[in-house]
Amino acid sequence: STFVAGLEKLKKGEIEPYGVPLAGELPIDFKDIRIVGSYDVDRAKIGKKLSEVVSQYWCDVNSLSDDPVVSTGVHLGSVKNLPIEAEGLEDSMTLKEAIERLVDEWSKLDPDVIVNTCTTEAFKPFGNKEELLKAIENNDKERLTATQVYAYAATLYAKKRGGAAFVNVIPTYIANDPAFVELAKGNNLVVFGDDGATGATPFTADVLSHLAQRNRYVKDVAQFNIGGNMDFLALTDEGKNKGKEFTKSSIVKDILGYDAPHYIKPTGYLEPLGDKKFIAIHIEYTSFNGATDELMISGRINDSPALGGLLVDLVRLGKIALNRKEYGTVYPVNA
């Protein structure tokens, strides 16, 4: 809803593009983005106009230039233990039938870019496409996640259409799973992912890059995130938290070239914090002549707006990559 509301205000010139990293640097304008479809698994939202759903969260957005009806998606247990009444296509049909339904609907909507923003899931990567195809054929609803189903449907849609892009902003491996990357390359699909990484993690990454450039030796890293929104509630599930932890903590070795001791993962749920999460970062490092320095940073970050602004860029970058036929994943864009 934050992405939709913010995009509408951008189009109308009501807000400045603060929080959109590549605001005026891309050949595609904000006004060129059209929302042709929307999916949810919350029974209270399905069947309503997108504007009606958005207005529940943003009272200053009463109408949308693009206002599709919210369609039924796939949940596969991803919203279990959350305070919503879930409804998914898989509740009344096989996974294969659900995928066929999605591809058929997308073919009518004709999107260039499909964005996955569903709730963080507990997942297991496939590694090879044969295992993925077998799970779908066997209707294995315990093995597959909603994101994996959407991503596979996107490969079939891209093949049928002649090209599309899939942007995955949750931790489930798509851009980092060889099974999906292989399928994407062979079916004209661009894949961006995995995880939005819009709060403390990119800040930690920037600080680590700064220290590496100045030849400081990082001794340890601690990063805490506590929030009160639906995603942080979902992350109280250990399996979901584990997936998020890996996508966050993998930045340490990627940036430094060595795996400094670290603790980087969502730390807890506190409802009064709402969408404005609390972050804290502590980094200890060795400087010249053996001196040990420490950095301690704390802050409050609005979670949804940070991702919403990034999505404005990712949608445009997805279209650019599609135009260039850069099928498979585009590593420099990935989290």
Cα dihedral value 237, 240, 244, 247, nearest 10: 150
Helix 129-137 × helix 146-161 angle, to 10°: 100
Please give the single-letter amino acid code of residue 250.
S
How many distinct helices (H) and strands (E) make up the chain?
11, 10
User: Domain limits of the chain?
Assistant: 200-303
| Number of residues that this document lists for the chain | 335
Tens of pLDDT along the chain (335 residues) come to 999 999 999 999 999 999 999 999 999 999 999 999 999 999 999 999 999 999 999 988 878 999 999 999 999 988 988 899 999 999 999 999 999 999 999 999 999 999 999 988 889 999 999 999 999 999 999 999 999 999 999 999 999 999 999 999 998 999 999 999 999 999 999 999 888 877 788 899 999 999 999 999 999 999 999 999 988 998 887 777 666 666 666 789 989 999 999 998 888 999 999 999 999 999 999 999 999 999 999 999 999 999 999 999 999 999 999 999 999 999 888 85
Question: What gap in Å lies between CA 1 and CA 55, rounded to an integer?
Answer: 8
Contact of 29 with 60, CB cutoff 8 Å: no
How far is CA 92 from its chain centroid? Answer: 27
Per CATH, the homologous superfamily of domain 200-303 is Dihydrodipicolinate Reductase; domain 2 (3.30.360.10)
Contact of 327 with 189, CB cutoff 8 Å: yes
Question: What gap in Å lies between CA 161 and CA 98, rounded to an integer?
Answer: 18
Report the predicted TM-score, pTM, of the whole model to 2 decimal places: 0.92
Cβ atoms within 10 Å of 309's Cβ, excluding its own: 22
Q: Is 286 helix (H, G, I), strand (E, B) or coil?
A: strand
